[in-house]
């Protein structure tokens, strides 16, 4: 295999805090090893539109603490087509890029996998999503910051919940995964978490809440993962209100504040380690793998495993949550 001389880097899908720290790590590790770096703006969309810029070490100065992504991001429908990928490959070749580092979530790595197979391009994936839903890594970049944002927001909501003796349903992101809802709920001492991985019936939930109020708790907080399976916070609140009109119910949807803000130290360190590991992987002739961490060690996971496998949620955590909220 010809030695890699130039690596392209892009961020794709939803932004996540820590993506900039990863861009910095990839850029500087590559330059340290004598590789050229090309920043590709707006993900696959930008690759198709030829938005490619040479990156020097200074391009990534002063970004480790910034949320979002300096490379911008997008979700590209065109890259899902053969024609779109052909244009992307032509642009990449014309720019002299012979390997890619893709920072993103499930959809972005799925695109990377198809592209790598079709054009025999070495690609390394870095898990960047607040959802934490990639198999083969204990954590994804952005997840810890989002959890902390949820914790800060819900702590504030609790002041109102307690003062008014209310029941709050708070919807958090996660797409089809309940990691943010479940661990967020433990972190704020919520009564319950409604997650797509485990069904909770309304009467079961009401019993939990009723018990709490009976024990003279003066507020109740339930975190609800967004998803068709849970029905979201609005749907659940309506059902509870109809069946239990005695509760003073309110709903808060946290929304995109969960994706913003300066990354935590955990996310900055994770992103720095994974960015460095991505370049090491390319230099070792690895291709089509995602870099991740398992038990605090860097691991390489084939795309097919990272994407297709459902990352299991620790069911015991729901017991931890419920027992600790009695
Ligand atoms: O994948 C990250 C994520 O924030 C999900 O949690 C959420 O479902 C989705 O992206 C929202 O996407 P958008 O910003 O395009 O509305």
With a 6 Å cutoff on the Cβ, whether 131 touches ligand 1 is yes
At a CB cut-off of 8 Å and minimum separation 6, what does 139 contact? 132, 266, 270, 293
**Strand 123-127 with 220-225, pairing:** unpaired
Q: 141: closest CA among 278, 292, 303?
A: 292
What atom of ligand 1 comes closest to residue 75's alpha carbon?
Answer: 15
With a 6 Å cutoff on the Cβ, whether 259 touches ligand 1 is yes
Position 199 scores a pLDDT of 81
| Mean pLDDT, rounded, for 273-298 | 97
Position 1 scores a pLDDT of 61
Q: 278: closest CA among 56, 75, 68, 10?
A: 10
Q: 169: closest CA among 192, 146, 151?
A: 192
Rounded CA gap, 322 and 261, in Å? 30
- In sequence order, what are the beta bridge partners of 36? 6
Q: Report, as residue numbers or ranges, the catalytic residues.
A: 131
**Ligand 1: which residue has its CA nearest to atom 8?**
175
pLDDT tens per residue, range 71-101: 999 999 999 999 999 999 999 999 999 999 9
**Ligand 1: which residue has its CA nearest to atom 2?**
14
pLDDT tens per residue, range 134-189: 999 999 999 999 999 999 999 999 999 999 999 999 999 999 999 999 999 999 99
- Provide the 3-class DSSP secondary structure of residue 222: strand
Q: Which residues of 179-207 are buried (b: 16+ CB within 10 A; e: fewer)?
A: bbbbbbbbbbebbbbbbbbeebeeeebbe
Q: 180: closest CA among 159, 195, 191, 165?
A: 195
Rounded CA gap, 18 and 4, in Å? 26
- Provide the 3-class DSSP secondary structure of residue 244: coil
Which stretches of the chain are DSSP H helices?
Answer: 19-32, 43-48, 82-94, 106-119, 143-164, 179-188, 202-214, 232-243, 265-283, 303-308, 316-324
Pocket test for ligand 1, best of 13, 16, 131 (most atoms within 8 A of CB): 131
pLDDT tens per residue, range 94-112: 999 999 999 999 999 999 9
Q: How far is CA 50 from the centre of its chain?
A: 26
């Amino acid at each position: 295999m010809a030695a890699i001389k130039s690596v392209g880097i892009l961020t794709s899908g939803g932004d996540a805090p820590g993506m900039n720290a990863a861009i910095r790590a990839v850029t500087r590790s590559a330059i340290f090893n004598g590789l050229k770096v090309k920043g590709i703006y707006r993900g696959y969309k930008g690759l198709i539109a030829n938005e490619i810029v040479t990156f020097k070490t200074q391009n990534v100065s002063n970004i480790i603490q910034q949320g979002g992504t300096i490379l911008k991001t997008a979700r590209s429908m065109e890259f899902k087509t053969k024609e779109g990928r052909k244009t992307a490959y032509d642009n990449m070749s014309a720019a002299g890029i012979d390997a890619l580092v893709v920072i993103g979530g499930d959809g972005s790595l799925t695109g990377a996998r198809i592209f790598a197979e079709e054009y025999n391009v070495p690609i390394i994936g870095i898990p960047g999503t607040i959802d934490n839903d990639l198999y083969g890594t204990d954590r994804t970049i952005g997840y810890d910051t989002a959890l902390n944002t949820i914790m800060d927001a819900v702590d504030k909501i609790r002041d109102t919940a307690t003062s008014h003796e209310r029941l709050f349903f708070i919807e958090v992101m996660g797409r089809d995964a309940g990691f943010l809802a479940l661990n967020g709920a433990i972190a704020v001492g919520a009564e319950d978490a409604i997650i797509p991985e485990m069904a909770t019936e309304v009467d079961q939930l009401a019993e939990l809440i009723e018990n709490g109020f009976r024990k003279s708790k003066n507020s109740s907080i339930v975190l609800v993962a967004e998803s068709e399976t849970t029905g979201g916070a609005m749907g659940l609140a309506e059902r509870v209100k109809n069946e239990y009109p005695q509760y003073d119910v309110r709903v808060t949807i946290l929304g995109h504040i969960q994706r913003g803000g300066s990354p935590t130290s955990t996310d900055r360190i994770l992103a720095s380690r994974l960015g460095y590991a991505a370049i090491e992987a390319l230099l070792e002739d690895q291709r089509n793998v995602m870099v991740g961490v398992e038990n605090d060690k860097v691991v390489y996971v084939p795309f097919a495993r990272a994407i297709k496998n459902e990352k299991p949620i620790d069911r015991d955590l729901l017991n931890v949550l419920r027992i600790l909220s009695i």
